[in-house]
Amino acid sequence: MSENPLHLLMNPQSIATVGASNNWQKMGTMQSLSILKDGFPGKFYPIHPKEKVVLGHRAYRSVESLPEAPDLAMLVVPTNQVISLFESFGKIGTKRAIVISAGFKEIGAAGKNLENKLTEVAQKYGMRFLGPNCMGIINSQLPLNLTVSVLDKRPGYLGMATQSGTYITQTLDYLRKRGIRFSKAISVGNEANIDIVDALEYLGEDKSTRAIILYIEGLRRGRHFIEVAQKITPHKPVLAQYVGGSASGKRASKSHTGAMAGPDILYDGIFKQAGIIRLHSIEDLYAHGWTLATQPPLKGNRLGVVTHSGGPGTAISHTADRGGMIVPPFSEGLQKRIRQHIAVHASSANPVDMTFTTDTQLLTQTIPQLVMESKEVDGVIIHGPMGSSWIKETYPHVGNLIDISLDKLVEFLDSMDLSEMVSLPWKYEIPLAISCFSGRDDNYVKAYEDHDIPAFDSPEKAARAMVSLLRHKEIRDRKAIVAPKLPRKNKKAAVLIQEAMEKGQKALDEYQGKQILSAYGIPVTREILVQTEKEAAMAAETIGFPVVVKACCWQIMHKTGEGLLALNVQTQADVQKRFRSIRKAVGSDVPILIQEQIAGSREFVIGMTRFPGFGPCLLFGLGGIFTEAFADTTFRAAPLSLTEAREMIADIRAKKLTGPFRKMPAVDKAKLCSAIQTVGFIGLLHPEIAEIDLNPVLIEDDRPVVVDALMLLSPFP
Amino acid sequence: MSENPLHLLMNPQSIATVGASNNWQKMGTMQSLSILKDGFPGKFYPIHPKEKVVLGHRAYRSVESLPEAPDLAMLVVPTNQVISLFESFGKIGTKRAIVISAGFKEIGAAGKNLENKLTEVAQKYGMRFLGPNCMGIINSQLPLNLTVSVLDKRPGYLGMATQSGTYITQTLDYLRKRGIRFSKAISVGNEANIDIVDALEYLGEDKSTRAIILYIEGLRRGRHFIEVAQKITPHKPVLAQYVGGSASGKRASKSHTGAMAGPDILYDGIFKQAGIIRLHSIEDLYAHGWTLATQPPLKGNRLGVVTHSGGPGTAISHTADRGGMIVPPFSEGLQKRIRQHIAVHASSANPVDMTFTTDTQLLTQTIPQLVMESKEVDGVIIHGPMGSSWIKETYPHVGNLIDISLDKLVEFLDSMDLSEMVSLPWKYEIPLAISCFSGRDDNYVKAYEDHDIPAFDSPEKAARAMVSLLRHKEIRDRKAIVAPKLPRKNKKAAVLIQEAMEKGQKALDEYQGKQILSAYGIPVTREILVQTEKEAAMAAETIGFPVVVKACCWQIMHKTGEGLLALNVQTQADVQKRFRSIRKAVGSDVPILIQEQIAGSREFVIGMTRFPGFGPCLLFGLGGIFTEAFADTTFRAAPLSLTEAREMIADIRAKKLTGPFRKMPAVDKAKLCSAIQTVGFIGLLHPEIAEIDLNPVLIEDDRPVVVDALMLLSPFP
């Protein structure tokens, strides 16, 4: 494995910038000021055609006049200057660049051309670069801040890779106010060279990064993305927001970085496949990411809740429950220990509801410690710590009755030693989240945030972050994903496909399709293709009654409801009658398929389709004629290990149908998984097949059997 | 209609409090300080056994020594004093009370007894009261603040009724910091007398309340709740959070106010029935409530987005799209007008993405005005207004290069006239929401919030609030709900049920059940109950082949898979064979039902079940043997108008099945709705029937036919 290009790019010893001046309103200036003021320890070379000194540093007239080849070049210049500058930096031996300049692929064809040229120049000199149209990087360990915004001085643990630069610039102040800090952050821009998959891989290897968040509008190396993520997610949490899947989102993101968007349901599936926790807002992405980056891992699903107000306790319980956690009633022993500290009408069960109290010590220290040391829970949420914010709020009312000034009171509160309180999660190795309607103007909230315990401004948010910790526990507990070995290409199948294409077929007929499935070991109905009534009757006899009689011709893609299909045909006479009526309905001497009638009422669908950036993707779901109405399907990218296939089966709403159900036995999952996996192999081995639709796959007793098969051929194999 | 008891309680001219002293740490004192300091214009009578003066007001030794009967009594005293105080206030003629004291129903049986006594005393004197175990009220118009917290001085428009007092006390500071203000707020506590339905009705009538939010842990007058809400929601938005439906939430809320919780899916349904927008966090409840209280109504689903950063624009579009909005590309004309103001590589389509700029005037005024006056959208979201917050953040970096001090800069920004910007929504009657990562320390955010335009700290939140505006548009557009007229009780049905109960039946057998359905006009299968093989054969002949042969006996509640049911029986001989085999399987001379075989592949379920607090509730969903696996059902409370029944049918995921589907015609919705409605009538007219389960209801061509029916009888009719 070649070294990730971001290792050097994120850790340069020298940086040259083009576009910085002494005009503070220029982006290049602002970014250079971030380099200088936020503590970059290396060398800084501003390049400027006229100025002798830029931001207090000697300026160089040209790339050629630099005293050395800098490790990193940053370009914040008009679009038309970028390529010649690349040439110059390439010639002197600079190997990494960041292109902030916009006006490339995102503006259309002309820009796309320019971007291609940029890539070519870089390739010529062995340069790797971020952008164009990106907003820079942050490495809080070095430190190095290459954005227009100001960095929090304390190093962080959260790694971010984003297809929108806004999320590592405009939000820095927002994050600082919540105590959330990046380890490394990377704006990938148009991804002309280094892309979000490289960034993910880099953050996975980075020791200072304890959790990774991704903002995604589309993926061009979808399969790589999954494989890289699968290596990271068993030990380091990865969370992602995807916004390209809706009609409007897709259009907006296209005009933005020209990313490649796929349907929402595809990303739902591939995130699950990759072990990535999907979230639906940037707020959750930051906050849950930070929770996973800072808190000890959750070891089970039992949540303890400590509060002084009933509503938030109930809301936390409800939200956690919806996310798969339980809020178990505490043991009698623990409740007895808790009751020593709380009012008679207060509740010791779980949630512990102390009812209205201003004894914050009890709420934040005494009770949580009792709960944690009991080992009866795996995670704890405290709602309601309020110190100085409460005093500040109520002082206008109660001040007259108190002898101390507000300033003195606040000063006293601010000087409180809360070190024991903020050490609880690490002392007991139990994750803690705080819910509180106050912000950092409260001494408790500030203490929590300053010690990397996440504080949320509403109870449901704390509960949902805890649920993300549970999701990561499930991901850690996943069976290891071992990439499956692709079988050899089946010659018979290849010949069959080639012949069909030579005949100009746009699809395989059902009989051909099933021969291919059969060649790869997927169980299909026994069936015989016939041309005459006599053959039909003989075939039915061979197969055994009842049989199915169907028209078989690649042009007929949907047989139900067209009079081209007869189920449950019981007699020879009836077979012949159906043979005639089908031919009449078609209006030609179409071949007829005589097929065994499968008895089974559980119907599934297995499909394969190709999405740009992903190659063949698999679909599994509830099948039969109502497939479309049920819309109960899930996607994964091929190839699929059997473990992943099993997760896929468990990912539909009607998954109960695959277990023992009423008097039916559990579906043979090994066979069903193997069939799904093999459809993926067929997609990979035969790029001529554009789409596969196996529907229904009926369950006979416990055995899946493909009853109908449609395979579309690609016009551009 | 008698006057709502809250009219007087929320608008007293005089208040007596018991429990206030000069000790500021007592709840009663804090609440009295709120009365006094937050501007209550009426008379205030503290009652105290020892003090002569309380909080600067003359104190009275007892209720009896008061100079007049106060309009309102507030009790913040130990539990055991409440009842005798009620007696005293009752005797002097006080008609309204608020009981803050806890220790009643929420602590168990003893408390429940006490609460009953309290209710009796109140009834004796014609007193109406809030609580016990509540946290007071707020009337920002009077003004009157009866909570422990400090009220925002500016009157508000948002009405709240809550089963958790926390949400109108602990959150006041939180709300003030977001510009959100109550018109009226009511903590209902244990609801021993005045309950949340009264509060909803009151807020519905209250002219200063423009939107209503409800925090609910359970409803005891569910049906009343729906009827009251249905009168309000066509003209005033009602939003609710319900947290009692999960196992943990239910337990937590029971220990809290002893509210009555039902399953989550029931509340999903009854909120839809009531026209209430359901939300899942207190943050959304406040923020969406405030948006609906302040912004002009949304007239369509077209959203315009104006931003200077791609990511947030895409995230807003994606989120709005998921909620049913569209972000339509702007006309060429409008785009041309926009392009005059933005950079070449910026996007004028929609979202308008100006790309990085500090020209906030353009972002907040020029472009939004162009978009609004075009009439091409129904709502607008602006992402990214930043003024003083941006300066404050970047000043440490760029300060050296600027001649002006930070204070001067901020002062300048704070003095900017932004009045035109904040008048946009009212000028064009188009709702506006702001997304911005800054808080109120920014002059733009502050201007928006101070002028009642909601500002959200993440893009998705602004989009979701806009989606709630769309939900209310849909609710306004609902057909008027006219309460249906209950039919007369059918005598034959009543006799049949009585006879069955007299025989000790715990359920009706299928034949009996269908006779009842038939008596009320619900279409059922033609069928004949037989005792002998000969009768069976004759019955089959009468009905016509194919037929269904079934065991029919109330003890046999589920026939599938037990060998007690034969479908599609084609011949007389086969009928007789099945007759014998079923009797053999049962092991007794069970009556046998010969039934027409319905041809149809669309299967639904209609059910009736009774939930405490709601009476008979109706279920509709996907039916057949997989009902449980599909779990695609929805609930409503009976009685149901045909309009509500039609909404119910449209509320399942597989709703496509009721339309024309493949070669099948659309289901006759009038017949299906009538069947659902009638099942509700049966539930209301016959309280002896505990549950009804009609599954499957098959669709023959377009006509629904009940194929199987189970009716459980109540052990306590």
**What is the pLDDT at residue A560?**
60
In chain B, which residues have their Cβ closer than 8 Å to the Cβ of A327? 248, 251-252
Looking at the predicted structure, is the pLDDT value of residue A252 above 70? no
**Cβ–Cβ < 8 Å for B327, B301:** no
Sign of the torsion formed by the C-alpha atoms of A38, A44, A48 and A53? positive
CA–CA distance, A193 with A346 (Å, rounded to integer):
61
As a three-state string, the secondary structure of A319-375 is: HHHHCCCECCCCCHHHHHHHHCCCCCCCECCCCEECCCCCCHHHHHHHHHHHHHHCC
Question: What CATH number is given for A296-476 in this structure?
Answer: 3.40.50.261
Q: What is the pLDDT of residues B290-338, one digit of tens each?
A: 999 999 999 999 999 999 988 999 999 999 999 999 999 999 999 999 9
**SS3 of residue B182 by DSSP:** strand
| Min Cα separation B649/chain A (Å) | 14
Burial of B375 (0-12, 13-18, 19+ CB in 10 A): exposed
At A262, the pLDDT band (50, 70, 90 cuts) reads confident
Residues 494-553 of B with CB under 8 A from A: none
Helices B310-322, B459-476: axis angle to 10 degrees equals: 30
* Identity of the residue in B164, B358, B656 whose CB atom sits nearest the CB atom of A629: B656
Give A504's DSSP letter.
Answer: T
Count interface pairs A-B at CB distance under 8 A.
318
CA–CA distance, B229 with A316 (Å, rounded to integer):
27
End-to-end CA distance of chain A: 31
CA–CA distance, A144 with A12 (Å, rounded to integer):
9
**Cβ–Cβ < 8 Å for A168, A144:** no
A401 touching B, CB under 8 A?
yes
The percent helix, strand, coil of chain B (3-state, each to 5) is 40, 20, 40
Q: Which of A93, A88, A111 is nearest to A101 (CA)?
A: A111
Q: Which two tokens stand for residue A269?
A: 């599936």
Length of chain B in terms of residues written? 717
Q: Where are the alpha helices (DSSP H) in A455-509?
A: 459-476, 491-502
Sign of the torsion formed by the C-alpha atoms of A667, A668, A672 and A675? negative
CA–CA distance, A278 with A272 (Å, rounded to integer):
8
Residue of B nearest to A629 (CA): B654
State chain B's mean pLDDT as an integer. Answer: 94
In chain B, which residues have their Cβ closer than 8 Å to the Cβ of A314? 164, 217, 243-244, 249, 252-253, 256
**Cβ–Cβ < 8 Å for B642, B618:** no
* Identity of the residue in B166, B320, B351 whose CB atom sits nearest the CB atom of A309: B166
User: What's the pTM?
Assistant: 0.96
CA–CA distance, B420 with B534 (Å, rounded to integer):
89
Q: What is the mean pLDDT of residues B482-505?
A: 96
**CATH number for domain B6-292, candidates 3.10.20.30, 3.40.640.10, 3.40.50.261, 3.40.50.450:** 3.40.50.261
Looking at the predicted structure, is the pLDDT value of residue B258 above 80? no
What string of DSSP letters covers A76-124? -S-GGGHHHHHHHHHHHT--EEEE----SGGG-HHHHHHHHHHHHHHHH
Q: How far is CA A184 from CA A155, A159, A607, B155, in A?
A: 9, 5, 40, 46
**What is the pLDDT at residue A251?**
65
- What is the residue extent of each domain of chain A? 6-292, 296-476, 526-597, 603-713
Asked if the domains at A6-292 and A296-476 fall in one CATH topology, the answer is yes
State chain A's mean pLDDT as an integer. Answer: 94
A339 touching B, CB under 8 A?
no
* Neighbouring-strand partners of residue A603: A698
Q: Which two tokens stand for residue B321?
A: 């799209």
Looking at the predicted structure, is the pLDDT value of residue B717 above 50? no
B263 touching A, CB under 8 A?
no
Q: What is the pLDDT of residues A372-384, one digit of tens each?
A: 999 999 999 999 9
Q: What is the pLDDT of residues A552-585, one digit of tens each?
A: 999 887 666 567 899 999 999 999 999 999 999 8
Edge-first strand order for the sheet with B277-279 is B144-145, B137-139, B182-187, B158-162, B211-216, B238-242, B277-279
Q: What is the radius of gyration, based on Cα positions, of chain A?
A: 32
Q: What is the pLDDT of residues A410-451, one digit of tens each?
A: 999 999 999 999 999 999 999 999 999 999 999 999 999 999
Residue of B nearest to A162 (CA): B311
Q: Where are the alpha helices (DSSP H) in B388-441?
A: 388-398, 406-414, 424-428
**Cβ–Cβ < 8 Å for A469, A297:** yes
Task: Give domain A603-713's CATH superfamily.
Answer: ATP-grasp fold, B domain (3.30.470.20)
Asked if B349 lies within 8 A of A282 by C-beta distance, the reply is no
Looking at the predicted structure, is the pLDDT value of residue B26 above 50? yes
Sign of the torsion formed by the C-alpha atoms of B163, B164, B168 and B172? negative
Looking at the predicted structure, is the pLDDT value of residue B249 above 70? no
* Identity of the residue in A246, A310, A317 whose CB atom sits nearest the CB atom of B318: A246
* Identity of the residue in A166, A312, A656 whose CB atom sits nearest the CB atom of B312: A166
Question: What CATH number is given for A526-597 in this structure?
Answer: 3.30.1490.20
In sequence order, what are the residues at sequence separation of 6 or more whose Cβ sits closer than 8 angstroms to the Cβ of residue B553?
A: B509, B586, B590, B591
CA–CA distance, B594 with B547 (Å, rounded to integer):
7
In chain A, which residues have their Cβ closer than 8 Å to the Cβ of B649? none
Looking at the predicted structure, is the pLDDT value of residue B20 above 60? yes
**Cβ–Cβ < 8 Å for A702, A513:** no
Q: How far is CA B211 from CA A108, B203, B232, B235, in A?
A: 46, 9, 10, 10
Asked if A243 lies within 8 A of B310 by C-beta distance, the reply is no
Q: Which two tokens stand for residue A581?
A: 């009526």
CA–CA distance, A29 with A24 (Å, rounded to integer):
6
**Cβ–Cβ < 8 Å for B99, B129:** yes
